[in-house]
Amino acid sequence: MDGDQLGGLVERVHRALVEDVDRTVVPGRMWALGLYKSVVLVLFMLRQNTVQEAAAELFGVSQATASRRWTALLPVVEKVLAGHVPDATKVSAGRVVLIDGTLVTTWDWASEGTLMFSGKHRDTGFNLQVAATLSGEPLAASAPVPGSRHDMYAWRQSHFPDAFADREDIGDLGYVGSGMLTARRKPPGRERPAGDKVYNQSIGKLRAAVERAIAHLKDWKILATRYRGPLQAFPSSPGPSPPSPSTRKAGRTP
């Protein structure tokens, strides 16, 4: 963010706190940092995924203060920015949509058993579905599902099938049977036809753009390095968008 964007965000956060009928946070009582630096602290922790002790030392406050600012302001930042999340259906109109899944690693919580463990990646985390354009522009990210779930399952539980129902969707072999355009599997017991090799190479070149989109999202280190927060708080981090009302009613969020 540039200075004007950051100032606008802080102004919106201040307005949201003042208008909060529950008055759980009072802007004027943030003596240690002030509201502006408190918002910067939250953004810094999201961007760099630093431990609270390190962030607190950099900002000259205690770990307890950093923890309170994080807990109090992260939901407010999410709330005031919610209106800027583009509608996936509208922004994808007339475009080819590339779909892929990625694992956002987390701590290995013993309480979750094998639910978070991805056999494909041999690590624990959330399966996040990402949609992008052919130029590598991110269009949307899905609500997360446990990492043990396959890409096809995560895609079906997301809002993507409805949002991109009338689009030309392209995915990898993990989405065979979804109706997307995918590469062709090798025939059992036979060599792959030369035409299939050329076709698969063409699909692979197109799909490279969604890999770039995922890499762009993971510039936010909280998505690229091991997420340490409570599982229920993960959807508030950058990238994941809230599940649709129908998904939420069905209890599909982790």
Residues 11-57 pLDDT 10s: 999 989 888 766 666 655 566 788 999 999 999 998 898 889 999 99
Examine the domain organization and report whether 46 and 132 are in the same domain: no
- Domain for residue 55, yes or no? yes
What pLDDT is recorded for position 133?
94
- Residues of the chain falling short of pLDDT 50: 241-254
- 231 Cβ neighbours under 8 A, 6+ residues apart: 106, 109, 112, 254
**102 in the same domain as 200:** yes
199 and 125 assigned to the same domain: yes
Report if residue 254 sits inside a domain: no
Tell me the C-alpha distance between 53 and 60, whole Å. Answer: 10
> What's the token pair of residue 194?
């030369």
Q: Which domain holds residue 31?
A: 3-84
SS (H, E, C) 3-37: HHHHHHHHHHHHHHHHHCCCCCCCHHHCCCCHHHH
CB contact set of 61 (below 8 Å; sequence gap of 6+): 32, 33
User: What are the tens digits of pLDDT across the range 170-183?
Assistant: 999 999 989 999 99
Q: Could you tell me if residue 21 is inside a domain?
A: yes
Q: What is the pLDDT of residue 129?
A: 95
Among 59, 84, 109, give the residue marking a domain's end: 84
Are the C-beta atoms of residues 162 and 243 closer than 8 Å to each other?
Answer: no
CA atoms in the 13 A half-sphere facing the CB of 71: 10
- Of 53, 84, 115, the last residue of a domain is 84
pTM value is 0.79
Same domain flag for 111 and 224: yes
Question: Alpha-carbon distance 155 to 172, whole Å?
Answer: 12
- Residue 188 domain flag: yes
Within this chain, do residues 25 and 57 fall inside the same structural domain, yes or no?
A: yes
- Domain identity same for 15 and 95: no
Task: Please state the domain count of the chain.
Answer: 2
Does residue 93 share a domain with residue 63? no
Residue 192, domain member (yes or no) = yes
Regarding whether 214 and 144 lie in a shared domain, the answer is: yes
